[in-house]
Structure 1
Amino acid sequence: MLKTVEISRELTRDSIRKLIEKTTDAIHVPGFYPADLSAEFAHRIASHSELEAYKIQSALKRLGMGYVDVEKSTENASRYHSEAVRSIWGIRDMMYPHLSPMDHFRLLLEEVWPAGATIENIDGQKSFVGTCRVIEPGARMLPHNDRLGRMLIDGTSDLTGQLAVNIYLEMSEAGGDLELWLTEPTPEQDEEQVTRDGIDRDGLGEPRTVIRPGNGDLVLFNSQLIHCVTPAIGSQRVTTSCFVGYRGEDKPLTYWS
């Protein structure tokens, strides 16, 4: 019999540790960021002149280059790192004089984790953190998992755990739910992701749990496990997101997008 899905409602050292150890399945903090500021930030993101469509699907747009966009290219990696800090400042300025939701998360993460938290360093260079995404109605994604090592040019990473972080600024009228299978992909499924940006749903069965966040909510889950987002219906879905890396209880957590 499958165990009951465990979801924590607070961001603490204990809830983070349990999520990494897979004894908690997700962290969902309702009202993490004020709903009125979430709506304002979502509007500024969706109307931003530098909002850029993903290559795989024009209905998915982003503000801020994620490491997934490097695609093992040294030229793209150079662009990513050269823009990283400027992009962080640019997104922060969008909410000034208010604290941005990602800065709010970063401060709390540093405070609750005993060894602190800091920006991920790749090849001696700082990473960007805080990708903002706009998902238009009808956009479809395939189930997948996320591992930094798979994205790096040399294909390796010293991380022993990786979490995904989403702050929901504007939820669609329906859809846009987070699906969690709570299982790792098989070697064959892992290879499938390389060629088609995801895993065939037909072989997965139903997800173990589905989370419906509200505006301003924070959700963390284990990104190394299979997950997906259902198509938005009726209106767009806007989030700001990053990953959190783990190297041990006595080591700082790191974050990047």
Structure 2
Amino acid sequence: MLKAIEISKELNEDSIRKLIAKNIDAIHVPGFYPKELSARFADCIAGHSELEAYKVQNALKRLGMGYVDVGKDADNANRYHSEAMRSIWGIRDMIYPNLTPLDHFRLLLEEVWPAGATIQTIDGRKSFVGTCRVIDQGAKMLPHNDRLARMLSNGASDLTGQLAVNVYLDMPPEGGELELWLSEPTPEQDKEQETRDGLDREVLGEPRLLIRPENGDLVLFNSQLIHGVTPGVGGRRVTMSCFVGHRGDDQPLTYWS
């Protein structure tokens, strides 16, 4: 028998612990970031000269290189780390003197988690945090999961949990929902994601949970479980996102994109 779906509307120590332990399925905080600022920030992102299409799906665009783009390539890794701070500051400047939604999130995370929170380092170098994504209307994203170890050259990390964080700055009139299957990929599916951009929807079946955020909402979910996004209708979908890593309840959380 499947357990009942449970979503917390608060970001605090208890909800983070429960999400990592899979005792709840998501954290959804409505109105986390002001709607007026969300609209202004979304326009800045969508019109930015450095907005770059993903290589595999060019209907998906991003500002700020994510570690997923490194692809275990040493040159890409060097570019990622060397651009990290400049990218954080550049995105921050777009909405200054206001805080970006992820700067606001980072401050709260440090305060609510007993051991605090800090930027993830990889091979002794700081990571970028705060990828901004624009998804064109009608674009389809394949279901997938995100796991830092799969992206590292040695295939291993010390994380005991990994969460995805999204602040929704602009949602289309229809579609753009977050799809959660609430299950981990099989070893075969995990390996499949190393060679293609996601998993076959027909094999997965329908997701167990759909979340329809509003502009300014914050959503956290377990990134190691399979998730996707429904195609948007009538407009773009703009988000700012990162991951949060857990290494034990007495250890600081880390965040990166």
Asked whether the two chains share a fold, i.e. TM above 0.5, the reply is: yes
User: Which sits farther off after the overlay, 102-111 or 186-195?
Assistant: 186-195
Deviation at 1:239, TM superposition (A): 0.2
Deviation at 1:14, TM superposition (A): 0.2
2:129 is the alignment partner of 1:144: no
After superposition, the CA RMSD in angstroms is 0.6
Distance across 1 between alignment mates of 2:192 and 2:199: 6
Deviation at 1:154, TM superposition (A): 1.5
Distance across 1 between alignment mates of 2:121 and 2:215: 31
TM-score, normalised relative to structure 2:
0.99
2:166 is the alignment partner of 1:166: yes
1:198 counterpart residue number? 198
Aligned AA (1:193): Q
2:113 counterpart residue number? 113
Structure 1 residue matching 2:156: 3-state secondary structure: coil
Deviation at 1:132, TM superposition (A): 0.1
2:234 counterpart residue number? 234
1:185 counterpart residue number? 185
User: Which sits farther off after the overlay, 189-198 or 238-247?
Assistant: 189-198
1:175 counterpart residue number? 175
Distance across 2 between alignment mates of 1:188 and 1:155: 16
Distance across 2 between alignment mates of 1:49 and 1:197: 26
1:20 counterpart residue number? 20
Aligned AA (1:153): S
Q: Spell out the pairing of 1:27-66 with structure 2 (5 A cutoff).
A: 27-66=27-66
Structure 2 residue matching 1:195: 3-state secondary structure: coil
Distance across 2 between alignment mates of 1:178 and 1:31: 17
Distance across 2 between alignment mates of 1:217 and 1:232: 17
Structure 2 residue matching 1:146: 3-state secondary structure: coil
1:132 counterpart residue number? 132
Distance across 2 between alignment mates of 1:48 and 1:212: 26
Number of aligned residue pairs: 257
Structure 2 residue matching 1:27: 3-state secondary structure: strand
1:100 counterpart residue number? 100
Aligned AA (2:169): L
TM-score, normalised relative to structure 1:
0.99
Deviation per residue, 1:120-170 (Å, 9 max, x gap): 000000000000000001111111000000011111111010000000000
Distance across 2 between alignment mates of 1:197 and 1:54: 11
Distance across 1 between alignment mates of 2:127 and 2:230: 29
Gaps of 5+ in 2: none
Deviation at 1:232, TM superposition (A): 1.1
Deviation at 1:191, TM superposition (A): 1.3
Deviation at 1:43, TM superposition (A): 0.2
Structure 1 residue matching 2:179: 3-state secondary structure: strand
Aligned AA (2:74): T
Distance across 2 between alignment mates of 1:190 and 1:32: 33
Distance across 1 between alignment mates of 2:240 and 2:215: 12
Structure 1 residue matching 2:89: 3-state secondary structure: helix
Structure 1 residue matching 2:244: 3-state secondary structure: strand
Aligned AA (1:19): L
* Runs ≥4 residues deviating over 3 A: none
Deviation per residue, 1:96-142 (Å, 9 max, x gap): 01111110000000000000000000000000000000000111111
Aligned AA (1:6): E
Structure 2 residue matching 1:250: 3-state secondary structure: coil
Distance across 1 between alignment mates of 2:196 and 2:88: 30
Distance across 2 between alignment mates of 1:196 and 1:99: 36
Structure 2 residue matching 1:143: 3-state secondary structure: strand
Q: Percent identity?
A: 77
Deviation per residue, 1:184-221 (Å, 9 max, x gap): 00011111111211111111121111000000000000
2:78 counterpart residue number? 78
Structure 2 residue matching 1:95: 3-state secondary structure: coil
